[in-house]
Amino acid sequence: MIKNRRELFSLQRTCASLAGIALLASCASTPSVPHQSTGWIKDEVADSYVFGYPLVLMSAARDAAVGTDPGQAPFNTLRHAQALPPIGAANPPQPSLDTLDSTGWLDLADEPVILSLPDSRGRYVDARVLDMWGNVVWSTGPQFVAGSAGAKGVRAQTIAFVTPGWQGELPKGAKRVEVPTRNAWIGVRVQSNGARDLTAIRKLQHAIRLAPLSVYADDAAPAAPARGNPSNGGAGANGTPAQQVAALDASGFFSRLADALPDNPPTPADPHALKFLADLGVTPGDPVKLPKAADALAAGLADGRERVATAPSNLLSANGWSWFGDGVGNYGPDYALRAYAASTQPGIGTKDDEVRAVVTQDSDGNTLNGANRYVIHFAANRLPPVRGFWSITAYSKDGALSESAPAWLAVGDRNGARRNRDGSLDVVVSSTRSRSGNWLPAPRADMQLVLRLYAPKPQATDGSWQPPPVVRQ
């Protein structure tokens, strides 16, 4: 059964609750704890944690990725992956084996930043820019061209990313895109067909240009792009960005949030969230002055973390799989969905860019394990609906590429998945090689499967299509 109920995260309170904090609203900079109860502190800490989580996570990811140390790159510079992720890779979780990625961070404080994409000449290319709250402000997904013979790719184009209200002259033919936050994350993914394809991919990567307007307008050579295997945020000495955020106490979390807010304000629809932050002594750019109620702060933080990690009810689900529906990438006031997307699929695009369905149980509700043999049967008229291509990859239960599964192998239509005589298609999942169907090697342990749909069709996110069950044989 498919679930697609819309449940917007709400920061509203009952009239009685509002009456209870009316006094606090008048002196938000020096909050005090009501003698009769600290329950409001717990509730507002949890609500505000869910609200602010994407910005704090994106800030941590930016700080880990920007710089001159190995594995980093300066602002407004793309870092190009030169190879598919190695065995054991888990940062980001569930690394893709289908594309080589170029990523970077924009700083729009001084001037616009210009992105030029070449004609991909029939190769799948997906480019997107996310603001610091995880909303997609621009992507190539809606313009992706598909043909009867498969992917047709994207055409050459120039995009100018500017701050709201910026006035000035842009390069001729450039499309203006306003970004509501000072910083933004950019990712460009190029379809890969294996090691034999690297020369062609590098040629295309070399033709992608990202530069501040002054450099671009002068036609000067931009800084050489960095090389390596980028992600949405590196893993430093203190762990991945997600691990760093998870380790913050209430003071640390809200201090990072307060520091990030002046340059990266929420949308105009969010003033009530800032009001509740002010109730807690959190104002943009100022030192935080949290209430002196350690137990309530800790309880609210724990509740907030649990809510971020809990799938919201408006996630699509069927046959054990779960995936994001139409609301992904442009969340509005749906803070629960926004936080969950940031924590589970950092950098996720819109419904036009990508669908990533995940399953951890078979059709009987048992945990998937590569020691067993499973079959995923796609009926002829129920293949993944895409304008680009699709694939299935097996990972460990923690989202890493297993040593028992070759890192170059994923099953999908781009690498010649064989159909049955009636047009249907079977994928066999096991750690032991199968001579029948399309074999997907799996780790010899508990695992998860990820089905990716690149440039999906509308039925992939409107609830009218669903992945088939994973059946143990």
Q: What is the pLDDT of residue 400?
A: 86
For residue 296, the one-letter residue type is A
CATH 2.60.120.600 given to domain 353-472 = yes
Q: Higher-confidence residue: 349 or 13?
A: 349
What are the sequence ranges of the domains in the chain?
1-65+236-345, 72-228, 353-472
DSSP letter string over 117-162? E---TTS-EEEEEEETTS-EEEESGGG-EEETTEEEE---EEEEEE
Residue 471 buriedness (CB in 10 A; 0-12 / 13-18 / 19+) = middle
Q: Say whether pLDDT at 345 is over 90.
A: yes
CB 401 within 8 A of CB 87: yes
- Cα separation, 290 vs 26, whole angstroms: 16
Q: Is 370 in a helix, a strand, or coil?
A: coil
Q: Name the band, by pLDDT with cuts 50, 70 and 90, for residue 339.
A: very high
DSSP letter string over 320-358? TEEE--TTTT--TT-HHHHHHHHHHSTT---TTTEEEEE
Q: What is the pLDDT of residue 404?
A: 60
Strand partners, 470: 376
Q: Name the band, by pLDDT with cuts 50, 70 and 90, for residue 4.
A: very low
Mean pLDDT of the chain: 86
- 162-166, 271-275, 290-294: range with lowest mean pLDDT: 271-275
Q: What is the pLDDT of residue 198?
A: 86
Q: What is the pLDDT of residue 35?
A: 41
Mean pLDDT value of segment 252-265:
98
Residue 348 buriedness (CB in 10 A; 0-12 / 13-18 / 19+) = buried
Q: What is the pLDDT of residue 38?
A: 83
Encoding tokens for residue 472?
Answer: 């143990």
At 446, give phi and psi (nearest 5°): -60, 145
Q: Say whether pLDDT at 219 is over 50.
A: yes
Mean pLDDT value of segment 319-328:
96
Q: What is the pLDDT of residue 217?
A: 81
CA distances from 255 to 10, 24, 70, 137, 470 (A): 23, 20, 28, 26, 45
pLDDT in tens, 386-396: 999 999 999 99
Q: What is the pLDDT of residue 286?
A: 97
Q: Say whether pLDDT at 182 is over 80.
A: yes
Q: What is the pLDDT of residue 331?
A: 96
CATH number of this structure's domain 72-228: 2.60.40.1610
Rounded to two decimals, the pTM is 0.87
Q: Say whether pLDDT at 165 is over 80.
A: yes
Place of tokens 């001159």: 68
- What is the separation of C-alpha 157 from the centre of its chain, rounded to a whole number of angstroms? 24
pLDDT in tens, 395-411: 999 888 877 655 457 88
Q: What is the pLDDT of residue 436?
A: 77
Q: What is the pLDDT of residue 95?
A: 85
CA distances from 373 to 67, 317, 376, 440, 473 (A): 46, 23, 10, 10, 6
pLDDT in tens, 8-51: 333 333 333 333 333 333 333 444 444 457 889 999 999 999 99
Q: Say whether pLDDT at 183 is over 80.
A: yes
Number of H helices, E strands in the chain: 9, 22
Encoding tokens for residue 152?
Answer: 């047709």
pLDDT in tens, 70-100: 889 999 999 998 877 766 555 667 888 899 9
Helix pair angle (39-65, 335-344), 10° resolution: 40
Q: Name the band, by pLDDT with cuts 50, 70 and 90, for residue 461.
A: very high
Mean pLDDT value of segment 330-358:
96
CB 59 within 8 A of CB 260: yes
- In sequence order, which residues have a C-beta less than 8 Å from that of residue 356 and are 6 or more positions away? 94, 323, 324, 345, 348, 450, 451, 452, 453
Q: What is the pLDDT of residue 70?
A: 87
DSSP 367: B
Torsion of CA 252, 339, 143, 118, to 10 degrees: 30
Q: What is the pLDDT of residue 242?
A: 95
Q: What is the pLDDT of residue 90?
A: 57
